[in-house]
Structure 1
Amino acid sequence: MTRRSKTPAPQAETAAPVFPAIPPAQVLPRLAALQTAPIDELKQQWRALFGKEPPSFNRAYLQSRLAYRIQELAYGGLKPETRARLEALGEQLDGGNVVLRRIRADSRPLPGTRLLREWQGIEHVVTVRLDDFEYEGRPYRSLSAIARHITGTRWNGWTFFGLKGRAP
């Protein structure tokens, strides 16, 4: 009986994709060309610069990401120290929860923001405070309560004041 050596079979090395170096002199002309390039060309550039299929986002998104990528390949990306610092700050804010990282921490308008709404010819002004809202010198816990006070009927306060889709 002969023994076989237990050396593992050679495995194919997975090399990181190589992206084209972009000379700094070409950056501005390439950025300008993004503005007039057809969407098919933008997608082709995406494949070349990112090494994967482009997302199904709109033209503005593709242009902005391609512009960043062109500059990144020409001038270099973020330093490893900067990336590490940003990751650490993210961990402090969301405790490492990736789901929370994708959601804006607080969609409420900043304290001091004034919300204006005209209702039946009268302009109503609400001031956002740290923990509540002020209307006519009185505190209210919600925009819905203010909208109900103004209209006499139930309203979603975020919708009434034009903030729909931003409610926490």
Structure 2
Amino acid sequence: MSSGRRVARLAALKTTSTPELKAQWRDLFDSEPPSFNRRYLESRLAYRIQELAYGGLKPEMVRRLERLGEELDGGDKKKRGIRLDRERPISGTRLLREWQGVEHVVTVTADGFDWQGRPYKSLSAIARAITGTRWNGWVFFGLKNRRART
């Protein structure tokens, strides 16, 4: 694929329908797309398109990242799962969620979350403020699978 076509394909992700993004996911990753929000699909597809065009991380970098991960969790895969499911994202992480055509950006802080310049203790409170209904904040922002883990 030429550089120009690649750039056009990346730019088109913003205006591509969600069902088409999911179809591209199946095509590029050979798996079902996760139930995360649209912005997540766009960013991962953009990365994958570039990865296929220019190559992924060098093996040396992959090994280095794996070593760093093992230092954090002692190589215990069970701890990795707990960290992913139960702990808050790292401070400074930005969570994006589109709701009724409006993009909402939440920043993770040391003691909670920030949305529209206001501090919140929980993602559920932010999800409730956005939607007017009760939500599990982790599910609303795509940080937790909707189905119970077994």
TM bucket (normalised to shorter chain) is 0.5 to 0.7
Aligned-pair Cα RMSD in Å: 3.1
Superposed displacement of residue 106, structure 1:
7.6
2-structure distance, mates of 1:106, 1:38: 32
**What TM-score, normalized to structure 1?**
0.49
C-alpha separation between the residues in 1 aligned to 2:54 and 2:5?
11
| Alignment partner of 1:72 is 2:30 | no
Mapped partners of 2:18, 2:87: distance in 1? 35
Cα offset for 1:56?
A: 1.8
Partner amino acid, structure 2, of 1:82: M
1:63-96 deviations in Å (ceiling 9; x for gaps): 1110110010011000001000110111111101
Shift of the alpha carbon at 1:23?
3.8
* CA–CA distance in structure 1, aligned partners of residues 21 and 59 of structure 2: 29
Task: Mark the runs of 5 or more structure 1 residues left unpaired by the alignment.
Answer: 1-21, 111-127, 129-142, 144-157
Aligned residues: 97
**Amino acid across the alignment from 1:49:** L
Bigger helix fraction: 2
Question: Which residue number in structure 2 is paired with residue 55 of structure 1?
Answer: 34
Paired-residue identity, %: 54
> CA separation in 2, counterparts of 1:106 and 1:41?
32
Contact 1:39 1:59 survives alignment (8 Å): yes
1:109-145 superposed Cα distances (whole Å, 9 cap, x missing partner)? 98xxxxxxxxxxxxxxxxx9xxxxxxxxxxxxxx9xx
CA–CA distance in 2 between the matches of 1:27 and 1:35?
14
> Which has the higher relative contact order, 1 or 2, with Cα contacts under 8 A spaced 6 or more apart?
2
Q: In the alignment, what sits opposite 1:38?
A: 17
Identify unmatched segments of 5+ residues in structure 2: 92-109, 114-118, 124-150
Poorly superposed stretches of 4+, deviation over 4 Å? 104-107
Give the 5 Å matches for 1:99-114: 99-102=78-81, 103=83
SS of the residue corresponding to residue 57 of structure 1 reads coil
